[in-house]
Structure 1
Amino acid sequence: MVQSLDYLKETASQTAGPYVHIGLIPKQAGFDIFENNFTNILADENTRGERIIVEGRVIDGTGTPLRDALLEIWQANADGRYNHELDRQKSGKVDEGFRGWGRTGTDFDTAVYRFETIKPGVVSGRNNRDMAPHINFWIVARGINIGLNTRMYFADEADKNANDPVLNLIEQHERRKTLIASLDDSGPLPVYRFDIVLQGENETVFFDV
């Protein structure tokens, strides 16, 4: 006899917490359990394109930087091509020296995340409309039930940003700035600063994908 659903209790649930680091970025959490660890370094000496650093913080609704957030990024290569055989939107070549995907967590002490990558090229989108250079982000942290998706654009690509079809979908123009990373080119490599605000004033624009 099948038990009535009226008598079944909801299974306990939990938002992403500290255990997510053990499973997804164990080395950063102090557990050396994988032979090959996913890292925040997407490029090597053979990768085509301009080497850059992307860094920032994940900030909660109270203005507090999170020290246990996990982030993944994926992006096109310098030719605007994603390193996957199913990406047929661009004529550029796949770059064998570029992984195009990275994972890291915010630092347990400083709350800063960091990726070493290259600046992506212009990506051909739907209906052959070019999208400005951008990096896709996925964020999980304690208190988040479902991972958040957003994009990072580059402050020094203002002309391309102005014509980007995704940025132009954001009706509140002042909120578009939450997707623009600032540039610090005073060091050996350009550093693009991109803080992600989860709630409240200056909340980052997130996408339902």
Structure 2
Amino acid sequence: MTEYHYNPLLAGAQPQPLLIVISGPSGVGKDSVLMRMRKLGLPFHFVVTATSRARRPGELDGYDYHFVSEERFREMIANEELLEWAEVYGQYKGIPRFEIREAMASGRDVVLRINVDGAATIKALAPEAIFIFLAPGSPEELRRRLMLRRTEDPAALERRLEVAADEMARLELFDYVVLNREDQLDEAVNQIHSIMIAEKQRVFPRQVAL
């Protein structure tokens, strides 16, 4: 007798919540993509990253990042409050565990914005997550973006570009690559949304456990 795979979607069940990791080099526009996804009202829970760096003009605590002191961040590490953390350019960044668990338990998709090293850590912890690499239209485009930010001196800028080149060489960690070209933000967002929709229709759904 032939055995058939039962899919809950055929009985009208809600799809499994997704854990989506969006990564890519510094300056590629990860924040811009997420802000646009929020404004469009896409149904997902964005996990706010904790960081020890100073708040930049226009950034909101608890919305862009959880801004904490270096001392508090070390306490979070010691208390195992973070799923993943790293020291990036002399500043700490990390992913709070409770936000992911609570959101997925309520059936909501969860989106993480982290660097490539962080994505590799999450890959080891949750290989069934969806890993999306956000890439610039070209290396020259990435250089222009970093220069326009005016947050680094020339030496720091070159270092970021070297790191970006190394990160671009690690695409094997990811399931998808999305180009975020200049003046085409909505196209990148639409591609990410399409990936999320397609993943919801899998015959064998991803099962994420954390």
Flag whether TM exceeds 0.5 (same fold). Answer: no
Structure with more of its chain in helix, by fraction: 2
Structure with more contact order per residue of length (Cα contacts < 8 Å, sep ≥ 6)? 2
Structure with more of its chain in strand, by fraction: 1
TM-score in terms of structure 2 length? 0.29
TM-score in terms of structure 1 length? 0.30
